[in-house]
Structure 1
Amino acid sequence: MSQAVLAQETNRRQLQQIISGLSDGVILAEVDQSILWANEAALAMHGLDDIAGLGANTAEYAERFALRYRNNHPLALEAYPLSRVANGEAFSDVIVEVTPTADADRTWVHRLRSLALTDSAGKPELLVLILSDATEWASAEQRFEKTFNANPAPAVICRLSDLRYIKVNQGFLEMTGHNRDQVIGRSVYELDVLEQAERKELAIQRLGEGATIPQMQAELKLPEGGSKLVIVAGQPLDMNDEECMLFSFTDLEPRRKAETALRQSEERFAKSFRLTPVPTLVCDAGNQQVVDVNDAFMSITGYTSEELIGKSITEINFIDSSEACTQLFATLEKAGNLDGQDLKIRKKGNEVIDCVVSADTVSIQDTTCYLLVMMNITERKRSELELVSAIEEVMKDASWFSQTLIEKLANAKSVNSPNLPNIAFTDLTARERDVLGLICEGLADKEIASRLKLAPNTVRNHVATVYSKLNVHSRSAAIVWARERGLFAGERRAKNPK
Structure 2
Amino acid sequence: MSQDVLTTETSRRQLQQIITGLSDGVILLDLDQAIVWANDAALAMHGIERIGDLGANAKEYARRFALRYRNNHPVPVASYPISRVARGETFSDVLVELTPIDDEERTWVHKVRSLVVTDSHGEPESLVLIMDDVTEWASAEQRFEKTFAANPAPAVICRLSDLRYIKVNPGFLEMTGYARDQVIGSSTYELDVLDQAQNKDLAKQRLREGATIPQMQAELRVADGASKQVIVAGQPLELNDEPCMLFSFVDVEPRRKAEVALRQSEERFAKAFGLTPVPILVCSASDQVVMDVNEAFLETLAYPREEVQGRTIAEIDFIYDKGARTKLFSALEKTGRLDRVDVRVRKKDTQLMDCAVSADTVNIQDSACYLLVLMDITERKRTELELVTAIEEVMKDASWFSRTLIEKLANVKHVNSPQLPSVSFTDLTARERDVLELICEGLADKEIAARLKLAPNTVRNHVATVYSKLDVHSRSEAIVWARERGLFSSAWRQKGQR
1:396 offset after TM fit, Å? Answer: 3.1
Match of 1:176 in 2: 176
What CA distance in whole angstroms lies between the structure 2 residues aligned with 1:457 and 1:158? Answer: 110
What pairs up with 1:68-87 in 2 under 5 angstroms? Answer: 68-76=68-76, 79-81=79-81, 84-85=84-85
Match of 1:133 in 2: 133
What CA distance in whole angstroms lies between the structure 2 residues aligned with 1:103 and 1:438? Answer: 106
Instruction: Give deviations 1:217-250, integer Å, cap 9, x for gaps.
Output: 4443321233344444444333222233333444
1:487 offset after TM fit, Å? Answer: 3.9
Instruction: Give deviations 1:136-176, integer Å, cap 9, x for gaps.
Output: 32233223323333444433333233332222233333333
TM-score, L = length of structure 2: 0.86
1:345 offset after TM fit, Å? Answer: 1.1
Match of 2:116 in 1: 116
Match of 1:159 in 2: 159
1:281 offset after TM fit, Å? Answer: 1.7
What CA distance in whole angstroms lies between the structure 2 residues aligned with 1:449 and 1:82? Answer: 129
What CA distance in whole angstroms lies between the structure 1 residues aligned with 2:256 and 2:178? Answer: 21
Match of 1:15 in 2: 15
Q: Which amino acid counterpart does residue 41 of structure 2 have in structure 1?
A: A
Matched, 1:341 2:341: yes
What CA distance in whole angstroms lies between the structure 2 residues aligned with 1:66 and 1:403? Answer: 106
Q: Which amino acid counterpart does residue 395 of structure 1 have in structure 2?
A: M
1:362 offset after TM fit, Å? Answer: 1.7
CA gap 1:488/1:144 in 2 versus in 1, 3 angstroms: closer
What CA distance in whole angstroms lies between the structure 1 residues aligned with 2:385 and 2:22? Answer: 113
Deviates more, 1:200-209 or 1:372-381: 200-209
Matched, 1:358 2:358: yes
Match of 1:414 in 2: 414
1:354 offset after TM fit, Å? Answer: 0.9
Matched, 1:388 2:379: no
What CA distance in whole angstroms lies between the structure 1 residues aligned with 2:74 and 2:385? Answer: 101
What CA distance in whole angstroms lies between the structure 2 residues aligned with 1:223 and 1:92? Answer: 39
Whether contact under 8 Å (2:58, 2:82) holds in the other structure is yes
Match of 1:246 in 2: 246
Unaligned runs of 5+ in 2: 491-498
Match of 1:298 in 2: 298
What pairs up with 1:144-155 in 2 under 5 angstroms? Answer: 144-155=144-155
CA gap 1:306/1:5 in 2 versus in 1, 3 angstroms: same
Matched, 1:263 2:286: no
Deviates more, 1:475-484 or 1:445-454: 445-454
Match of 1:226 in 2: 226
The secondary structure found in structure 2 opposite 1:23 is coil
Deviates more, 1:332-341 or 1:390-399: 390-399
Whether contact under 8 Å (2:30, 2:36) holds in the other structure is yes
Aligned length: 490
1:215 offset after TM fit, Å? Answer: 4.2
What CA distance in whole angstroms lies between the structure 1 residues aligned with 2:120 and 2:480? Answer: 132
Match of 2:476 in 1: 476
CA gap 1:41/1:418 in 2 versus in 1, 3 angstroms: closer
What CA distance in whole angstroms lies between the structure 1 residues aligned with 2:2 and 2:407? Answer: 146
Whether contact under 8 Å (1:266, 1:364) holds in the other structure is no
1:124 offset after TM fit, Å? Answer: 4.0
Deviates more, 1:96-105 or 1:240-249: 96-105
1:453 offset after TM fit, Å? Answer: 5.0
Deviates more, 1:432-441 or 1:326-335: 432-441
CA gap 1:317/1:7 in 2 versus in 1, 3 angstroms: same
CA gap 1:463/1:38 in 2 versus in 1, 3 angstroms: same
Q: Which amino acid counterpart does residue 24 of structure 1 have in structure 2?
A: D
The secondary structure found in structure 1 opposite 2:349 is coil
Instruction: Give deviations 1:393-450, integer Å, cap 9, x for gaps.
Output: 3433444555455444434433222444344333221121222233334444455445
What CA distance in whole angstroms lies between the structure 2 residues aligned with 1:188 and 1:463? Answer: 100
1:192 offset after TM fit, Å? Answer: 3.4
Unaligned runs of 5+ in 1: 491-498
Q: Which amino acid counterpart does residue 183 of structure 2 have in structure 1?
A: V
What CA distance in whole angstroms lies between the structure 2 residues aligned with 1:78 and 1:482? Answer: 107
Match of 2:313 in 1: 313
What CA distance in whole angstroms lies between the structure 1 residues aligned with 2:256 and 2:13? Answer: 74
Match of 2:495 in 1: none
Match of 2:37 in 1: 37
1:90 offset after TM fit, Å? Answer: 4.2
What CA distance in whole angstroms lies between the structure 2 residues aligned with 1:222 and 1:41? Answer: 51
CA gap 1:32/1:376 in 2 versus in 1, 3 angstroms: same
The secondary structure found in structure 2 opposite 1:480 is helix
What CA distance in whole angstroms lies between the structure 2 residues aligned with 1:251 and 1:153? Answer: 8
Q: How high is the sequence identity, in percent, across the aligned residues?
A: 73
CA gap 1:438/1:242 in 2 versus in 1, 3 angstroms: same
1:287 offset after TM fit, Å? Answer: 1.3
Match of 2:188 in 1: 188
The secondary structure found in structure 2 opposite 1:355 is strand
1:348 offset after TM fit, Å? Answer: 2.2
Instruction: Give deviations 1:237-273, integer Å, cap 9, x for gaps.
Output: 3322223333344444444444444433333333332
What CA distance in whole angstroms lies between the structure 2 residues aligned with 1:389 and 1:75? Answer: 105
TM-score, L = length of structure 1: 0.86
Matched, 1:26 2:26: yes
What CA distance in whole angstroms lies between the structure 2 residues aligned with 1:51 and 1:397? Answer: 128
What CA distance in whole angstroms lies between the structure 2 residues aligned with 1:23 and 1:411? Answer: 105
What CA distance in whole angstroms lies between the structure 2 residues aligned with 1:479 and 1:107? Answer: 98
The secondary structure found in structure 1 opposite 2:114 is strand
Match of 2:331 in 1: 331
Matched, 1:51 2:77: no
CA gap 1:164/1:363 in 2 versus in 1, 3 angstroms: same
The secondary structure found in structure 1 opposite 2:266 is helix
What CA distance in whole angstroms lies between the structure 2 residues aligned with 1:150 and 1:89? Answer: 40
CA gap 1:471/1:262 in 2 versus in 1, 3 angstroms: farther
What CA distance in whole angstroms lies between the structure 1 residues aligned with 2:187 and 2:464? Answer: 99
1:353 offset after TM fit, Å? Answer: 0.8
Instruction: Give deviations 1:20-63, integer Å, cap 9, x for gaps.
Output: 22222223334554544322222332334343444454444444
Deviates more, 1:438-447 or 1:473-482: 438-447
What CA distance in whole angstroms lies between the structure 1 residues aligned with 2:208 and 2:219? Answer: 21
Q: Which amino acid counterpart does residue 158 of structure 1 have in structure 2?
A: C
Deviates more, 1:214-223 or 1:14-23: 214-223
1:332 offset after TM fit, Å? Answer: 0.6
Match of 1:276 in 2: 276
CA gap 1:442/1:100 in 2 versus in 1, 3 angstroms: closer
CA gap 1:384/1:43 in 2 versus in 1, 3 angstroms: closer
Instruction: Give deviations 1:314-365, integer Å, cap 9, x for gaps.
Output: 1111111211111111111111112221111111211111111111112223
The secondary structure found in structure 2 opposite 1:333 is helix
Whether contact under 8 Å (2:359, 2:372) holds in the other structure is yes
Query: CA-atom RMSD, angstroms?
Result: 3.1
What CA distance in whole angstroms lies between the structure 2 residues aligned with 1:417 and 1:388? Answer: 10
What CA distance in whole angstroms lies between the structure 2 residues aligned with 1:46 and 1:287? Answer: 76
